[in-house]
Amino acid sequence: MKKKFFRIVVLVLVLFVGYKVVASGMSGLNLGSFFGDNIKRAKTDNGWNLILVNQDFYVPKDYEVPLLELSNGQKVDERIYPDLQQMFDDMRAEGVNPEVSWGYRTHETQTRLFDEGVQYRMDNGHSKEEAKRLTSEAVAIPGTSEHELGLAIDVVDNGLSYATQPMYDWLAAHSNKYGFILRYPANKVDITKIMYEPWHFRYVGKEHAEKIFNEGLVLEEYIERLN
């Protein structure tokens, strides 16, 4: 009887440990269930500002972000702050009042946002798998979000929960001069796999942003050229 009980306990422990490995792997979700076995650890060969994370590359578990807190409580990688501050100062001088509504996100926060998106779609009649697929087109799956790098910012009008067209127009025309790119343009959804987000900008550095802007590329295409 004792031996049988011991075997049951061991089996339960093995199953529990196995579950934890899958559940806590790269993202808190099983990325393989979304992307297959081809998703890889994001490369840092091109420098911290050119790390590419998307449905092919996940944020390294040991990646550390040197964070700086903004006046509204949002955080970003401290290395992008000087250019971000200069860009916002110049926008304000022209009568545009920007605010970072989202900067750095912890893995847990990204997971919560994704789960909320899935639940919302399930509540509206979609199956769980369909809800996950639809959500992944609007919210990066945890472990694949640029917000987890501290290099992405969502920009809105100060005091509002959205950005007005003048702000979108200004950022689209000038953000590259400060090292930022429109990360998910409308004409490149087939490459980025993320819907058009006119509020989402990614820091890559001035030199790279100018090239990406002038050649009409997205980060995926630019990194492919570099490599």
SS3 40: strand
Cα 192 → chain centroid = 12
pLDDT value, residue 119: 96
Q: Per-residue pLDDT tens for 36-59?
A: 567 899 999 999 999 999 999 999
pLDDT at residue 116 above 60?
yes
Please pick, among 64, 99, 197, 215, the residue that the annotation labels catalytic: 197
Domain 39-105+145-226: assigned CATH number: 3.30.1380.10
Q: What is the mean pLDDT of residues 179-191?
A: 97
Strands 57-58 and 40-41: parallel
pLDDT at residue 175 above 60?
yes
Sign of CA dihedral 43, 48, 50, 56: positive
pLDDT value, residue 34: 55
22-26, 97-101, 179-183: lowest mean pLDDT where?
22-26
**Global confidence as pTM:** 0.82
Active site includes 148? no
pLDDT value, residue 38: 73
Q: Which residues contact 186 (CB under 8 A, 6 or more apart)?
A: 196
SS3 105: coil
